[in-house]
């Protein structure tokens, strides 16, 4: 058994349904590098570990432990939990970092419950003080900052996707195989998986550095194209208010807000969005907010750094042509 550093931080690598490292991984490894030595765990089909280890090392993994298994394709959650249990037993980490994704939450929750470890969810940052690892949270839609820590033992942390800006320097690839004993815990069965077809080359909403969102003010699904035009001019991801989703202008996976995706981009442009508190809860941690709305009293202006009271259908085309002008 190789020795592991005393400040090891276990990072669970999440892969897409096609076996690629997902976009949240560099942020997780970056977060781990701030508080210790990132040791990555890959739970992956036999033969794929090398490629994944190379990607993880490029993002700062000091070592990569690989659990070869095909069971993740047929069993939900449990094979990952069994692998994290084996890895944690091997390296005795100070913290276990998992993406706050749908799968990540399940894995972290079951792991914490099984091992009796303290769990901190939806962290937007991590740090280390004299007594150990501290998780930072932004709660009630960003109205409060809260820190949490474990009374003892490793802290299991689910990290909000896109919240960590830190990136770790690339490391040489160091891949080790790890045997994970199957717990035999009852699991749900995965009967079929369909990758959600990426319909565009636009950036993913979660973790995007720029987001252009549209609301009910766009008026129809056809006119929502204006939001897409501005997003493309800026290389931004597309978001929407719940009103726009409910009205059928755009699919629900673009919904920003309390019940949708929380985003913290460098730039957030809200078009025809009134700014209900549920929407603001998902975007007001953006660094710069620009809003265009006909209604001068729209609450979105209360959080906007730059607001224009006007018609999106005249203001936005002008903005797009200005941007095009600048590019020339």
Residues 260-279 that bind another protein (CB under 8 A): 266-267, 277-278
Q: Which is nearer to another protein, 62 or 268 (CB)?
A: 268
Contact flag: residue 246 with another protein (CB under 8 A): no
Exactly one of 58, 85, 174, 234 binds another protein (CB under 8 A); that residue is 234
> 110 with 78: CB under 8 angstroms?
yes
State in angstroms the smallest separation of the CB of 142 from another protein. Answer: 6
d(CA 42, CA 51): 11
Question: CA distances (Å), 273 to each of 74, 96, 212, 298, in order?
Answer: 42, 38, 11, 8
Q: Which is nearer to another protein, 170 or 200 (CB)?
A: 200
Number of shown-chain residues binding another protein (CB under 8 A): 97
Q: What HEC string does 80-122 produce? A: HHHHHHHHHHHHCCCEEEEECCHHHHHHHHHHHHHHCCEEEEE
Q: What sign has the CA pseudo-torsion 89, 59, 7, 144?
A: negative
**C-alpha angle 296/297/300, rounded to 5°?**
95
Closest CA to 39 of 58, 57, 62, 55: 62
Q: Which is nearer to another protein, 176 or 229 (CB)?
A: 229
> 267 with 288: CB under 8 angstroms?
yes
Exactly one of 47, 177, 179, 196 binds another protein (CB under 8 A); that residue is 196
Q: Which is nearer to another protein, 11 or 120 (CB)?
A: 120
Q: Which is nearer to another protein, 58 or 234 (CB)?
A: 234
Residues 153-182 that bind another protein (CB under 8 A): 153, 155, 158
Question: Could you give the maximum distance between any two Cα atoms of the chain, in Å?
Answer: 66
Contact range with another protein by CB under 8 A, out of 39-47, 61-69, 107-115, 216-224: 107-115
State in angstroms the smallest separation of the CB of 95 from another protein. Answer: 12
Q: Report the Cα–Cα distance between both ends of the chain, in Å, rounded.
A: 59
Contact flag: residue 147 with another protein (CB under 8 A): yes
Contact range with another protein by CB under 8 A, out of 85-93, 173-181, 213-221, 316-324: 316-324
Residues 33-92 that bind another protein (CB under 8 A): 76-77, 81
CB contact set of 289 (below 8 Å; sequence gap of 6+): 268, 269, 270, 283, 303, 304, 305, 306
State in angstroms the smallest separation of the CB of 86 from another protein. Answer: 16
Residues 283-312 that bind another protein (CB under 8 A): 284, 288-290, 292, 296, 301-311
């Amino acid at each position: 058994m190789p020795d592991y550093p005393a400040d090891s931080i276990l990072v669970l690598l999440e892969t897409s349904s096609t076996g690629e490292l997902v976009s949240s991984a560099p942020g997780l490894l970056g977060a781990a590098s701030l508080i210790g030595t990132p040791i990555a765990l890959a739970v992956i089909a036999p033969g794929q570990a090398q490629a994944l280890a190379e990607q993880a090392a490029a993002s700062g993994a000091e070592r990569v432990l690989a659990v070869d298994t095909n069971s993740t394709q047929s069993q939900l959650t449990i094979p990952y939990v069994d692998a994290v249990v084996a890895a944690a037993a091997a390296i005795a980490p100070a913290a276990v970092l998992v993406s706050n994704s749908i799968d990540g939450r399940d894995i972290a929750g079951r792991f914490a419950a099984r091992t009796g470890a303290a769990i901190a969810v939806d962290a937007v940052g991590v740090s280390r003080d004299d007594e150990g690892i501290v998780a930072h949270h932004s709660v009630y839609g960003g109205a409060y900052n809260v820190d949490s820590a474990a009374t003892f033992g490793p802290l299991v942390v689910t990290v909000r996707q896109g919240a960590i800006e830190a990136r770790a320097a690339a490391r040489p690839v160091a891949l080790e195989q790890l045997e994970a004993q199957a717990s035999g815990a009852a699991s749900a069965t995965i009967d079929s998986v369909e990758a959600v077809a990426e319909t565009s080359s636009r950036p993913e909403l979660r973790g995007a550095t720029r987001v252009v969102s549209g609301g009910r003010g766009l008026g129809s699904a056809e006119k929502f194209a204006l939001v897409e035009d501005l997003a493309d001019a800026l290389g931004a991801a597309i978001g929407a208010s719940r009103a726009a989703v409910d009205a059928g202008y755009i699919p629900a996976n673009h919904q920003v807000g309390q019940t949708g995706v929380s985003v913290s981009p460098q730039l957030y442009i809200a078009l025809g969005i009134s700014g209900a508190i549920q929407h603001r809860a998902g975007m007001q941690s953006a660094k710069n907010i620009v809003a265009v709305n006909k209604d001068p009293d729209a609450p979105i202006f209360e959080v906007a750094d730059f607001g224009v009271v006007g018609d999106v259908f005249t203001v936005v085309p002008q903005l797009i042509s200005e941007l095009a002008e600048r590019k020339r």
